[in-house]
Structure formats: structure tokens, C-alpha cells
Amino acid sequence: MIMRTVSFDGSFAGWRCIARQLLEQDVAPSEISWQTEHLVGDLFAGTSEQPETVSSAIRVPKQLAELLSLAACYRHAQRWALLYRVLWRVVRGDQAAMLAGDEDGSELHRWAKAVRRETHHLHAFLRFKHRGEHSGNPQYVAWHEPAHDVLALAAPHFCNRMGNTSWLIATPEAVALWDGKTLAFKAPCPVELQALAKQQRDDGESLWLAYYASTFNPARANPKVMTGHMPKRFWKDLPEGPLIPALLSEARTGTQRTAQAKTVSEQAGKTVPVSAEEVLPVREQLSTLDTCRRCPLWQKATQAVPGEGPLNARLFLVGEQPGDHEDLLGRPFMGPAGQVLDQAIQDAGLQREALYLTNAVKHFKWTPQGRRRKHVTPTTEIAPCRHWLEQELDNVKPDVIVALGATALESLTGKKQGSLAMYMGQATQWKGRRLIVTYHPSYILRVPEEAKREQAQAALTAALVQARQLLEQ
Ligand code: URA
């Protein structure tokens, strides 16, 4: 038997066209080796054509046409071979091939079901972020990582929902663009659109997070059911995702346990001896920083916030400690101070993703003020937390370090420095690295006078420019 290698563009429309020719030539499935070329450009051109008729002579049941178009979105090495095998069998009168009781049919149904489910996941777990009033088109952007090629199936749903508001949905493979009138797709998704969709922040995000955390009902939290409905792989792209482990863990070990302990302790009767090991709560695997008890800050913080950035970053920025947003999200510089820093990074011609961002202290130190958590400057916590900063410096081995504010400088040098002013504007040598000292972004936010605030922001940008120039030398 001679094997034919059939190459096509990897789209359902492309496959259908070739399958039609092969059926007409009576080529058996076992004679074909399917090969896809990388799809470039308008991903779904031609898919709107109805797939019911494969050729004038060959008729395909509508139900099969639907099943095939769904199963074609399932990522599997054998996807095109299975589709053709079922089609070939049905066209030759073997209707069982499309039934769930048949070996091929059951696989086809399973794939179609998985694709429907993944389409639902995209509808349910996509979060559009608003780009601000004056950012132009698209007004909303979203990032999603589907397990199957469901973007084209799922995207039209948002055209109805969002009306003439423009948006884009970027995925690692492709992008869907809606300008308020027309829906277009492109593959691959340009890297700048990927970056835009991944990094965009939303003005309403902190409000949503506060709402989510406050309406989370620990007594009703069932992690198994929850992960069944919302698989963990989506958590990282949901704004509320980073909150979920802490909320679940608190539900298991905190609120719920306290409530139970109270009820149980009020009951009369004998005590039942249990081993300490058996009653240990089941928790997510904790990293060493997560379990840090070097100072008492962990007791009131949601989570420890580690540094973030590539391990080969040459520029290393040290802040003070996570703030309210960072504590909830588990990432450094995500709140208002992060926006000031992002602006300076951009103005200095740098890219946030290329830098390593961290803090001198890894837990949020705060005190209640009304319904808010008010930031408190760390003091005695700086020395015990230096352990983690040194570990990060050892891992990253940056060439240039920028200390943002006095806490960062104290942590790096190991002693309290009199004033920032004596370091500002110069690059000192420190442990074989260049150290630049500048204002902390939160300080800039607090400067009341506009002109002075602008000066401070310019000093922050200048420090980053200086760092960039040192690296370029
Ligand atoms: N301030 C900091 O010092 N670090 C953060 O991560 C956020 C605000």
C-alpha cells in the first residue's frame, strides 16, 4: 500500500476541502498520513460556508457535519485522521461510525463534548479588562489559555454581549478582534497583543477583589466541587484566582475550624483522643517562603509575596513591602504604587517583564483603620526578612540593583541609613554590583504639591534610565 502524505493549513475548512477530494478519489483512511502546516493570517477564512455537503455526489448528515466541526477543535495528534475515518465510513453506508456505541464514534463524541465544555470555560472564565477612556481601540482586552482550539467557536458570543464596544481576546495561538461591527481572527497572535492582554490592569479590579473576598462563604466552600466547575489552570488568569487558595485554606483551617471547635467544645461527653498528624488540615503544598515564620507579619497577611521576574534579569528592583493589592494578589507592585513604577519603567525605555521586582519585606504589615487596612512601615521585620532578599539576589545575580526608598536601602546594606539624599543620583559599588538609590513610588504618590510630585517622578525615571545605561555600557 502506498501512503499519501496530505498537507493542509490545519483549519477545518482546509481539511474539509481535501477530504472531499480524497473521498471522490476513493482513498481509504489507512492510506493517508495527515500533515498540517502552521496556520498564518486570517485563521478562519472560509469557515462560514456550511459544511453539510461534502460534494454534489456525497451527502453528509447534518448531525455528523456538526460533530466533525466540533471535534476538529480538539487538540490531538490523530484529529484529522479520526475525522476522515468516520466521514469515510459514514459516506460508504456505515452509519454506526457516528454513534457513541462505535469505537470511532465514541471518540468523536468525547472530543466534541470536551470542545463544548472548553467553549463554556472560555465564556465563563474570560475576564475583559478595561483599557481606560483614552486608550483607543480595542476598549477591552482579555487573555485566555484554552486547552483546545475553541476561540472561533466561543468568540461570537461576546459580539452579542458587548454590542459595539470593541475588544480583543488573545490566546497563545490566535487572537479574536471585534471592532464593534466585524469579528476577525489572526494566527499566530502577535506578541505585542499577547503582552497587552496579559498585562492590562482594570480600574475596577480592586473593587471586584474586595467584593469576591467578602462574599466568599467559607462554610459552603467545597474545593472539589469548585475545581470541578472552575479548573485550577484558569485561576492564574482570573483576577480573583490568586485569592482562591488563601480563601479555601482559611475556610478549611480557619473560620470553619473555629466554628466547629466552638460547637464541639460546648458539647458534653468524653474526649476522643486523636493523633496530631491525623487532624492536620489538608493544605496546598507550601513553598518555604509561604511557611516563613521569621517574624509575626505572616499572622495578619493573606500570603507572602515573592519577587517576580526572569531569573536571568540583569536589573533588580527592591521595594519596601507588599501593599493591600499585592497582599491579595500575591504579586509585587500591582496597586497604585505599581502604576507609578510602571510609568517610570516605560518612560525609562525598559520593560517590566525583563526586570526582577521584589520587596525588602515579603508580608504586608498593616493596622485596621475603619474598614481599611492601613500600611505600616516595617522596622524590626527588615532584618529577619533579609534572608529571602539575599536568596533572591543569589538566584538572579543581577548587575544593577535599584533600591526604591529607605527600607530597601536598609535591607540591602544591613543598616539604617541617615538619608536617601546622600545616595541619590549616583551609582555606588555594592558587593560587586552597582547600586542606585531613588524614591519609593508610594512616596511619590503622597507628595502633595504637583510640581514636587513631578520632580520626584522624574527622579525615579532618571534612576531607571541610569540603570539602563549602566547595563548598556
Ligand atoms: N510598595 C512596595 O514597596 N512594594 C509593592 O509591591 C507594592 C507597594
Q: pLDDT truncated to tens, each residue of the chain (473 aa)?
A: 678 899 998 899 999 999 999 999 999 999 999 998 765 555 444 444 444 444 457 788 999 999 999 999 999 999 999 999 999 999 999 999 999 999 999 999 999 999 999 999 999 999 999 887 777 789 999 999 999 999 999 999 999 889 899 999 999 999 999 999 999 999 999 999 999 998 887 777 777 887 887 777 766 777 777 777 888 888 878 888 878 877 777 776 665 455 555 555 566 665 555 555 555 544 455 568 988 889 999 988 888 999 999 999 999 999 999 999 998 888 999 999 999 999 999 999 999 999 999 999 999 999 988 778 899 999 999 999 999 999 999 999 999 999 999 999 999 999 998 888 888 888 999 999 999 999 999 999 999 999 999 999 999 999 999 999 999 98
- Domain extent at residue 438: 291-472
- Those residues with Cβ within 8 angstroms of residue 383's Cβ, 6 or more apart along the chain or in another chain: none
State if residue 411 touches ligand 1 by the CB under 6 angstroms criterion.
Answer: no
Atom of ligand 1 lying closest to residue 440 CA: 3
Q: Residue 472: how many CA atoms within 13 Å on its side-chain side?
A: 8
Closest CA to 108 of 117, 119, 100, 116: 100
152 and 86 both lie in a single domain: no
244 and 220 both lie in a single domain: yes
Residue 284 lies in a domain: no
Residue 189 lies in a domain: yes
83 and 214 both lie in a single domain: no
337 and 464 both lie in a single domain: yes
State if residue 326 touches ligand 1 by the CB under 6 angstroms criterion.
Answer: yes
Q: Quick check: helix, strand or coil at residue 21?
A: helix
Which neighbouring-strand residues pair with 403? 318, 437
- Give the domain-ending residue among 92, 121, 150: 121
State if residue 323 touches ligand 1 by the CB under 6 angstroms criterion.
Answer: yes
- Give the domain-ending residue among 222, 250, 279: 279
Tell me what pLDDT residue 393 has: 97
171 and 223 both lie in a single domain: no
302 and 439 both lie in a single domain: yes
Tell me what pLDDT residue 231 has: 84
Q: How many domains does the chain have?
A: 4
Residue 257 lies in a domain: yes
Residue 43 lies in a domain: yes
State if residue 319 touches ligand 1 by the CB under 6 angstroms criterion.
Answer: yes
Taking the centre of ligand 1 as the mean of its atom positions, its distance from the CA of residue 360, in whole angstroms, is 9
Q: What is the pTM of this model?
A: 0.53
State if residue 302 touches ligand 1 by the CB under 6 angstroms criterion.
Answer: no
- Give the domain-ending residue among 139, 167, 199: 199
Burial 283-302 (b: 16+ CB within 10 A, else e): eeeeeebbebeebebbeebb
Say if residues 125 and 113 touch (Cβ distance below 8 Å): no
Residue 213 lies in a domain: yes
